Amino acid sequence: MAINFPTSIDSPTTKTTSDDVDASHMNDVQSMAVALETKVGVDGSAVTTSHDYKLDRLCDPGRAVGTSNISTTSTSYIDMTDMSVSKTVAGGAALVLFSGTIRLSHEHQEGYLNIEIDSTVKHESRFSWSAYESGEFRHWHLSWLETGLSAASHTFKVQWKTSGGTIYQDGATYTRSLVVLEFPG
């Protein structure tokens, strides 16, 4: 019997106690086991098509956490303190996630956050609050799926700026986080 796995599922003939089993039957079973083990991979596999390799990449995110109170009055994008991750990827896609609490200093003020990968802005978000809400912290989340990443080390950052006034992030009470999940191609 030709082994088809992993491109299709093999369907060996079921044997009964009255059937003769010869060496080719056992060799088929061994070949199927090897094909399955190759697809699953050994611990720490460097084979990029193995499940072990892909799950290892997915289960080992790049992560940054900020626990200090920070603020900016910059009207040009600047790096947000502690929100940078350098991660070597195997190529493919990466999901970039930011979460944090933001407060604006006054009404009619706008704040901006962006996700930057390798010094290129990928996603920008603008926010503002009414007079009633100014001075209150609000949870803010930002996400971006970057496809077509080359196999290399990449730098993922969160940047921020304001239209005027001050933007605050209360990291001591509500930590901010940047997480990068790789999805190898």
Sequence length of the chain is 185
Cβ atoms of 34 and 25 closer than 8 Å: no
Interval 63-102: pLDDT, tens:
999 999 999 999 999 999 999 999 988 888 999 999 999 8
What are the structural domains, with CATH classification, of the chain?
A: 71-184 (2.60.120.760)
Interval 157-180: pLDDT, tens:
999 999 988 999 989 988 999 999
Interval 95-147: pLDDT, tens:
999 999 988 887 778 889 999 999 999 998 888 765 556 567 788 899 999 99
E strands, the chain, in order: 62-66, 69-72, 78-89, 92-104, 110-117, 120-128, 138-149, 152-162, 167-170, 176-184
Residue 134: the pLDDT is 55
Counting DSSP H helices and E strands in the chain, the numbers are 2, 10
Cβ atoms of 156 and 79 closer than 8 Å: no
